Homo-oligomer: A and B are copies of this chain.
Amino acid sequence: MPDRPETDAPEDAPQDVPRGAQLSRTDRSRLRRSHARGSFDRDVVNAILDAQPMCSVGYVIDGRPYVTPTLQWREGDRVYWHGSSASRALRASREAEVCLTVAILDGYVMARSGFHHSVNSRSVMLFGRAQLVPDAEKEPRLCAFVDRLWPGRAAMLRPNTETERKATTLLSMPIAEGSAKVRSGPPVDEPEDYALPLWAGVIEVQTRATGLTPDPRNAPGLTPPDHLRHFRPVG
């Protein structure tokens, strides 16, 4: 539930040109409900994308929707994802309209009525045409993907073979049309409900790295590299 009962925002004309550090407000991306917590701010969008590699990519086959869990990474004002060149998801997304969504759950918001329960969360929905990343750009982009997760690791890896590069498809999309939505804080109940003798509040939730499991087949004497020390799966 939103903080306050609200009516839909009035229709404004779609604005296709990004204004400064804002994503464009189009008919597709304009938040109609709970707009008080919505944002077109590029910094807010970027921070959410950077905090959670996991995303859901939506695409259409034969008029029907598909949502595939995928990993995304951001470089500047573009978002990237990758997979098998034979993947149905990537073939259906390539040069087609997609919706890429990232959602981070920060807490369960427990209110005094069912209606006012909610979650604290940060989410982004991005819309656009997924573009095929040209062959020559594959290698640097994949290295950036690895290094964003673990700085310096790309250079330590056995280099990709030509066969592996061919088997890999990269897609990307400008971060241009979309929005972020953020909710935080305690529940917002009806004024008369605050007196009820029922505990209300937030169960804080966090995703954490809980440990390292070395590959039993590691060469003897290896220790976890430095780039693992500060790894945070969700920031």
Contacts and interface: CB of A to CB of B under 8 A. Distances in A.
A202 B194 contact: no
A13 interface: no
A157 B113 CA distance: 5
Interface stretch (A15-23, A38-46, A73-81, A104-112): A104-112
A196 B157 CA distance: 9
A98 B65 contact: yes
A211 interface: yes
A214 interface: yes
Oligomeric state, in copies: 2
Interface string A194-212: 1111111111111111111
A198 B150 CA distance: 13
B214 A8 contact: no
A71 to B, nearest CB: 7
A56 to B, nearest CB: 4
Interface in A139-194: 142-143, 146, 149-150, 153-154, 156-161, 164, 167-168, 186-187, 189-190, 193-194
Contact of A215 (B54, B71, B86, B187): B187
B146 A114 contact: yes
Contacts of A71: 119
Contact of A196 (B64, B158, B194): B158
B64 A57 contact: no
A235 interface: no
Nearest to A164: B115
A48 to B, nearest CB: 11
Interface string A88-111: 100000000111110101011010
A86 B32 CA distance: 10
Contacts of A154: 114
A222 interface: yes
17 contacts: A58-B65, A58-B67, A60-B60, A60-B63, A63-B63, A64-B99, A65-B99, A69-B121, A105-B207, A117-B146, A157-B198, A198-B225, A199-B225, A200-B218, A201-B218, A203-B231, A205-B207
